[in-house]
Amino acid sequence: MDPEKEITIYDIAKKLNISAATVSRGLMDHPSVNINTKQKVVEAAQEMGYRSNHLASNLRKKKSNIIGIIVGNLNSSFMSNVIAGVEKVLSEAGYNLIISQSLDSVAKEVNIAQAMYNNRVDGLMVSLAYETENADHFESFVKRGIPLVYFDRVWPHPKCPGIEIDNVKASYHITDHLIKQGCKRIAHITAFRLSSVAADRYKGYEQALIDNNLRVEEDLILRTQLTLKAGIEAAHTILAMAKRPDGVFVTNDACAVSCMQELKRHGIRIPDDIAFAGFNNDTEASIIEPNLTTVNYKGYDMGEVAAKILINRLNNSENVSPADNKLIQKSELVIRDSSLKKK
Amino acid sequence: MDPEKEITIYDIAKKLNISAATVSRGLMDHPSVNINTKQKVVEAAQEMGYRSNHLASNLRKKKSNIIGIIVGNLNSSFMSNVIAGVEKVLSEAGYNLIISQSLDSVAKEVNIAQAMYNNRVDGLMVSLAYETENADHFESFVKRGIPLVYFDRVWPHPKCPGIEIDNVKASYHITDHLIKQGCKRIAHITAFRLSSVAADRYKGYEQALIDNNLRVEEDLILRTQLTLKAGIEAAHTILAMAKRPDGVFVTNDACAVSCMQELKRHGIRIPDDIAFAGFNNDTEASIIEPNLTTVNYKGYDMGEVAAKILINRLNNSENVSPADNKLIQKSELVIRDSSLKKK
DNA sequence: TTGAAAGCGCTAACAA
DNA sequence: TTGTTAGCGCTTTCAA
């Protein structure tokens, strides 16, 4: 037999002297197909080296069986955990995953959205690019009724669930913890452009200060890129301050860790001179000395939850309870030595 | 206009009073189409909200435009960097990426391979599951002439390029470095089942000992799962040794770091009592104190290279130079404090 | 330069 | 339970 030739259901049909429709039914476990026929079909398919042509069945069914996922950047431990969780759920549900990264550029995000739309993904999961300030480029999906789920960096939309953690609350707690440890002047390293995530964390920080009768000082708000490099620069800014802070709350761990390292290099004692807290509970947080107090939330779980919600929408496109529209994943404060001042 | 209805080339054809074939040509920049016709087509498409149906054109062209990638686990910083590199190259070349993880199980890898085959991916990139001991389940791709490229955990195959680093050489160098620092008894933390990667690193370690007239002692070879937990257990094994090693070379950084932490907790001084070296240059390596000596090689670059090779094969399926069959990515020794004994 | 027509391989309504 | 038939929307030969 020519190994190059693809076997189709017609080949099987001819061989068994039945119709292609029956072969198709046999192959897809159709309820009304004779059990014997089915077995014959499956055996013949196996023997002849048949492989189903998803391209054709997708066209016929007008379903691609593909879910798209758009993220800012794949190479963070948080995001790869999200993807791992998503991939697990989707593959169990029989869907394929197409992944694209916007590299945190809005322009690229728009292009990707268009490409995914043309590729006819059955559903879409999005964590917005850092820069993104509106979600118009995803409206085409909403209009066509293609399920769209946001996670982590979400966009509020009545028809699109958003899975995130309560950033305000978590950052309120961690700031409050620093205050309880005796910090009076707490600096906050945040982002230049306030994404919803950064904005919420800022809000929690601010509220905690206010509730504890501490002043919110503009000088103590450091707006950065939140990169490793930015952490080092922030350290220098802090070192240069006439009146240094006695605590620092950083919007992410990576930046917190690099800032701590640089301060330590300049003789600052942590937590005695300056207490530190981060956000994310990345691996680094439990390696840096002293270990970093942070907020833990699991990317893997978030990915799982987001994917399950999407699958759910895919299965009952109508029955969309508005209740699951905004989903808060739990997060927890992880207290480590970087914030524990000896009393 | 009914927003639910998908516009097809027939709708455009009817509106412009031309044939669907011409519309198709206009849309895809066919050389023999009148420039004016083309413009009219494009305008009408735009105006009517047309989106091309890749499902249909894929079926017709018998090309899915999809590249599959199978990895053991997505959530490592190395692998997410690889994916990031791959995604960049493939998206620039107009391909979509479908990602699956075998979770290092052979059974799952076999299933995924089958699914990708049925999904008619145009090409496949594979980093083998940890357990995998043969690559028969990928033979169907080879037989059909579907380009297959291995990376990192490769399988030697005359028709499938493998992109990897020279693990033997790198681990030889790092072991030699430990010896030059004065280590006489160097333990090696490796894997239970020797994947090609672990086996090669073991080989380099062994050769370096032999070349320096040191004995290879079976007691100093610790076979583990290479996880964080395994690192802690290895630390206890080392602590319990009658005659402890004065150096440890671990097959990956994560395990090295957790082992170091545990040893430090038990009062071992690094590098004075025991010098350490890892492999991968993960973030943790430059956070742990003392910073970990390791081997650096970039996942992002490896992903880029592997994807480019695949694209290349896709474009000239015949013209496959055997020269690019085994590709060695460069790697470099990164010497840090964990291995520098004061003389 | 354009059109007519066939068909990629499958599924689903309908009929038998 | 099975077969007939008609497409899904596109691309591509062939002829005009």
Which positions in chain A touch B300 (Cβ < 8 Å)? Answer: 75
**CATH class as words, domain A9-52:** mainly alpha
Residue with minimal CA–C1' distance to C3 is B19
**Average of pLDDT values for A286-312?**
94
Under the banding of pLDDT at 50, 70 and 90, the label for residue A2 is very low
Under the banding of pLDDT at 50, 70 and 90, the label for residue A105 is confident
pLDDT at res. B82 = 93
How far does the CA of residue B179 sit from the closest CA of chain A (Å)? 27
Please count the CA atoms within 13 angstroms of the CA of A83 that sit on its side-chain side.
Answer: 34
pLDDT at res. A316 = 74
Query: Are A98 and B96 inside 8 Å of each other by CB?
Result: yes
For A279, the token pair is 């956000």
Q: Which residue in A65, A73, A80, A257 has the most chain B C-beta atoms within 10 A of its own C-beta, making it the best mutation to test that interface?
A: A80
Check residues B277 and A108 and name the one with the higher pLDDT.
Answer: B277
Residue A39's H or E segment, with its range, is: helix A35-48
Under the banding of pLDDT at 50, 70 and 90, the label for residue B84 is confident
Residues 47-86 on chain B lying near strand D, CB distance under 7 A: 50, 52-53, 56-57, 59-61
Residue A330, pLDDT above cutoff 50: yes
Contact, A99 vs A74, CB < 8 A? yes
Task: Tell me which residue in B87, B288, B289 faces A101 most closely, judged by beta carbons.
Answer: B87
Contact, A284 vs A77, CB < 8 A? no
Residue A214's H or E segment, with its range, is: none
Dump strand ranges (E) for A31-132: 66-71, 96-101, 123-126
Residue B27, pLDDT above cutoff 80: yes
Q: What is the pLDDT of residues B36-83, one digit of tens each?
A: 999 999 999 999 989 999 999 999 999 999 999 999 887 677 888 899
pLDDT at res. A323 = 53
Please count the CA atoms within 13 angstroms of the CA of A177 that sit on its side-chain side.
Answer: 24
Q: Which residue in B55, B227, B281 has the most chain A C-beta atoms within 10 A of its own C-beta, making it the best mutation to test that interface?
A: B55
Residue B290, pLDDT above cutoff 60: yes
Q: What is the pLDDT of residues B169-226, one digit of tens each?
A: 999 999 999 999 999 999 999 998 777 889 999 999 999 999 999 999 999 999 998 8
CB atoms within 10 A of CB A172: 21
Contact, A318 vs A279, CB < 8 A? no
Nucleotides of C under 7 A from a protein CB: 1-5, 7-13
Residue A264's H or E segment, with its range, is: helix A253-265
The CA distance from A70 to A81, in Å, is 14
User: Which residues, at least 6 apart from A187, have a Cβ–Cβ distance to it below 8 Å?
Assistant: A220, A221, A222, A238, A245, A247, A248, A249
**Average of pLDDT values for B249-263?**
96
Under the banding of pLDDT at 50, 70 and 90, the label for residue B309 is very high
Contact, A22 vs A13, CB < 8 A? yes
How far does the CA of residue A76 sit from the closest CA of chain B (Å)? 7
pLDDT at res. A15 = 92
**Is residue B131 helix, strand or coil?**
coil
How far does the CA of residue A181 sit from the closest CA of chain B (Å)? 25
Please count the CA atoms within 13 angstroms of the CA of B31 that sit on its side-chain side.
Answer: 0
Query: Are A84 and B64 inside 8 Å of each other by CB?
Result: no
For B193, the token pair is 């089942």
Give the distance, in angstroms, between residue B56 CA and nucleotide D7 C1'. Answer: 13
SS3 content of chain B, % helix, strand, coil (to 5): 50, 15, 35
Which positions in chain B touch A54 (Cβ < 8 Å)? Answer: 118-120
Pairing of strands A186-191, A221-224: parallel
Q: How far is CA A28 from the centre of its chain?
A: 34
The CA distance from A288 to A336, in Å, is 11
**Average of pLDDT values for B262-285?**
95
pLDDT at res. B103 = 81
Contact, A254 vs A282, CB < 8 A? yes
Q: Which residue has the tokens 């080296």?
A: A49
Pairing of strands B326-329, A96-101: unpaired
pLDDT at res. A4 = 62
- Provide the whole-model pTM: 0.82
Q: How many helices (H) and strands (E) does chain B have?
A: 12, 12
**Is residue A124 helix, strand or coil?**
strand
For A258, the token pair is 């690099």
pLDDT at res. A161 = 94
Is strand D in 7 Å reach of the CB of B9?
A: yes
Query: Are A80 and B79 inside 8 Å of each other by CB?
Result: yes
The CA distance from A176 to A178, in Å, is 5
For B146, the token pair is 């579907």
Least confident of A3-12, B211-220, B257-266, B279-288: A3-12
How far does the CA of residue A314 sit from the closest CA of chain B (Å)? 17
Pairing of strands A332-334, A294-296: antiparallel
pLDDT at res. A78 = 82
The CA distance from A176 to A212, in Å, is 8
Task: Tell me which residue in B59, B112, B144 faces A59 most closely, judged by beta carbons.
Answer: B59
Find the nucleotide nearest B60 (Cα to C1′).
C8
Task: Tell me which residue in B56, B99, B284 faces A97 most closely, judged by beta carbons.
Answer: B99
Residue A327's H or E segment, with its range, is: strand A326-329
Query: Are B120 and A53 inside 8 Å of each other by CB?
Result: yes
pLDDT at res. A324 = 63
**Which chain B residue is nearest to residue A56, measuring alpha carbons?**
B59
φ, ψ at B87 (rounded to 5°): -60, -40
Which positions in chain A touch B101 (Cβ < 8 Å)? Answer: 84, 87-88
Amino acid identity of B236?
H
Is strand D in 7 Å reach of the CB of A20?
A: yes
Task: Tell me which residue in A54, A59, A80 faces B119 most closely, judged by beta carbons.
Answer: A54
Which positions in chain B touch A113 (Cβ < 8 Å)? Answer: none
Distances from the Cα of B236 to the Cαs of A320, B38, B230, B240, B265, in angstroms? Answer: 53, 73, 10, 6, 11
The CA distance from A148 to A142, in Å, is 7
Least confident of A59-68, A119-128, B14-23, B318-327: B318-327
Do A167-297+333-339 and A9-52 fall under one CATH topology? no
**Average of pLDDT values for B290-295?**
97
Under the banding of pLDDT at 50, 70 and 90, the label for residue B283 is confident
Query: Are A120 and B75 inside 8 Å of each other by CB?
Result: no
Give the distance, in angstroms, between residue B11 CA and nucleotide C1 C1'. Answer: 21
pLDDT at res. A132 = 86
Which positions in chain B touch A278 (Cβ < 8 Å)? Answer: none
pLDDT at res. B1 = 41
CB atoms within 10 A of CB A284: 27
Topology of domain A64-164+299-329 in CATH is: Rossmann fold (3.40.50)
**Is residue B133 helix, strand or coil?**
coil
**Helix ranges, B131-267 (H):** 139-144, 167-180, 196-211, 228-240, 253-265
For A213, the token pair is 């009768």
Q: What angle do CA A10, A13, A18 make, to 5 degrees?
A: 140
For B241, the token pair is 């040794």
How far does the CA of residue A124 sit from the closest CA of chain B (Å)? 14
pLDDT at res. A58 = 93
Distances from the Cα of A43 to the Cαs of A47, A224, B34, in angstroms? Answer: 6, 63, 52
**All structural domains of chain B with their residue ranges:** 9-52, 64-164+299-329, 167-297+333-339
φ, ψ at A50 (rounded to 5°): -75, 140
Query: Are B119 and A96 inside 8 Å of each other by CB?
Result: yes
Q: What is the pLDDT of residues A225-271, one digit of tens each?
A: 888 899 999 999 999 999 999 999 999 999 999 999 999 999 999 99
Q: What percent of chain A has pLDDT over 70?
A: 96
Q: Which residues of A11-35 are buried (b: 16+ CB within 10 A; e: fewer)?
A: bbbebbebeeebbbbbbeeeeebee
Nucleotides of D under 7 A from a protein CB: 1-5, 7-13
Q: Which residues face B210 on adjacent strands?
A: none
Q: Pick the closest to residue B49 from B113, B112, B2 (CA basis).
A: B2
Task: Tell me which residue in A84, A88, A118 faces B54 most closely, judged by beta carbons.
Answer: A118
The CA distance from B43 to B39, in Å, is 6
The CATH homologous superfamily for domain A167-297+333-339 is: Response regulator (3.40.50.2300)
The CA distance from A306 to A283, in Å, is 23
**Average of pLDDT values for A20-36?**
91
